[in-house]
Amino acid sequence: MKTLRIFTTLIMTLSLGFFAGCGKKDDAKKDDAKAPAAGKVASCSMIKSGTCREYRDANLALGTDSLKKLCETMEGTFGDVACPTEKMTATCKVPEHMDFYYDNYPIPVADLEKGCTANKGTWTAAPAK
């Protein structure tokens, strides 16, 4: 019986030591990948259709390759710049990104606001000119 307790204690100690130290280097790399890309910005500008999607910080932590491909699929122009604010009518911010809408966007601003708030986004109308 005493041998069984010693064996069980040894197995538990080794297991805890293994799991506590398991993947320390890999975990550090994962933490770096999840860290916000402080001060970085990227956008997908679809000015012809009256919109631009902006990505910042943590949304860029995994890189921009997939965002660029998605943007190009939507016939947008991807760049490491913020969305323009000239002729902007409003924005809708959700955790993943911020959408900018411009005066040539085909959907009425009131409908855009309803859609934004329904998706738990933060709606901000452009200041009156």
Q: pLDDT digits over 106-118, tens only? A: 999 999 999 999 9
Residue 82 belongs to what domain range? 41-125
Task: Assess if residue 25 is contained within a domain.
Answer: no
Per the structure, the count of domains in the chain is 1
Examine the pLDDT at 29 and tell me if it is beyond 80: no
Q: Is the dihedral of CA 8, 13, 14, 20 positive or negative?
A: positive
Whole-number Cα distances in Å, 63 to 40, 43, 56, 58, 110: 11, 13, 11, 10, 34
Task: Assess if residue 20 is contained within a domain.
Answer: no
Task: Assess if residue 72 is contained within a domain.
Answer: yes
Q: Is the pTM of this model over 0.75?
A: no
Task: Assess if residue 63 is contained within a domain.
Answer: yes
Task: Assess if residue 74 is contained within a domain.
Answer: yes
45-51 average pLDDT score: 92
Task: Assess if residue 27 is contained within a domain.
Answer: no
